[in-house]
Amino acid sequence: MSVYQKNEVNEVETSRTLSLVVDNQPGTLARVIGLFSGRGYNIESLTVTEIDKIRNLSRISLVTRGTSMTIEQIKSQLLRIVPVHIVRDLTLEGPFIKSELALVKLVVKGANRVEALRIAETFRARTLDVTLSSFVFELTGKPSKLDAFVHLMRSLGDTEISRTGVSAISRGEKTETKLLDQI
């Protein structure tokens, strides 16, 4: 990005969810992350896992923030990366589902243990581990739901949080099968 003031109208920055299909090989993730740090773009969340063993493909779900001009730039820059095959802007495409998984450890004794379990039940969190002084809860859902849960747990005791970041997919019957076949 040039140090010259950008020729943008004061447009608001919005959050966008991008879904990428990339080659599952060493260096691909480094390229994607390097693009964001090198060009000064934001990453709010990023997840990556293999989705196709035969074709050796991974999906990167990525939440970023910027003006529409910046987002267009991010998408074009991503497509310049050789092992990046598909870049979809889920926010722009239409309705989509965003989901995340959190593991929350809470160290708690006494009356707050009951409160913790009650909140967990309300949020439909699963209890994965129990000791006399701690719990580990597992919760999936929208990031805002996870935020709320974590916030409540923190007020009950010492916590340790592990979150996966957002995984996203579009609603409806549209799939990427045709796009994948062209790779």
- Type of residue numbered 43: I
Q: Which stretch binds other proteins (CB under 8 A): 45-53, 65-73, 118-126, 141-149?
A: 65-73
Binding of other proteins by 82 (CB under 8 A): yes
Which residues from 125-164 bind other proteins, rule CB under 8 A? none
* Residues pairing with 136 in the sheet: 105, 129
Q: Which of 18, 22, 46, 81 binds other proteins (CB under 8 A)?
A: 81
177 binds other proteins (CB under 8 A): no
Residue among 77 and 91 whose Cβ is closer to other proteins: 77
CB of 41 to other proteins, least distance (A): 12
User: Within its chain, how far is the Cα of 143 from the centroid?
Assistant: 8
Residue 34 as a binder of other proteins (CB under 8 A): the answer is: yes
Closest CA to 98 of 54, 161, 143: 143
Nearest to 150 by CA among 126, 175, 120: 120
13, 14, 27, 158: which one binds other proteins (CB under 8 A): 27
- What is the token pair recorded at 61? 């779900």
What three-state secondary structure class fits 62?
Answer: strand
Residue 91 beta carbon to other proteins: minimum distance, rounded to whole angstroms: 18
**The pair of three-digit structure tokens given for residue 111, joined into one six-digit string:** 């009356």
Angle between helices 28-39 and 68-80 (to 10 degrees): 140
Pull the structure tokens for residue 60.
Answer: 């990167």
Q: How far is the CB of 6 from other proteins (least distance, A)?
A: 7
Q: Which of residues 97-126 bind other proteins (CB under 8 A)?
A: none
Shortest Å, Cβ 27 to other proteins: 6
Instruction: Give least dist CB 83 to other proteins, A.
Output: 8
Using alpha carbons, list the distances in angstroms from residue 164 to 24, 35, 52, 102, 145: 19, 21, 20, 6, 14
Interface residue list for other proteins (CB under 8 A): 2-8, 26-27, 30-31, 34, 38, 69, 72-73, 76-77, 79-82, 84-85, 182-183
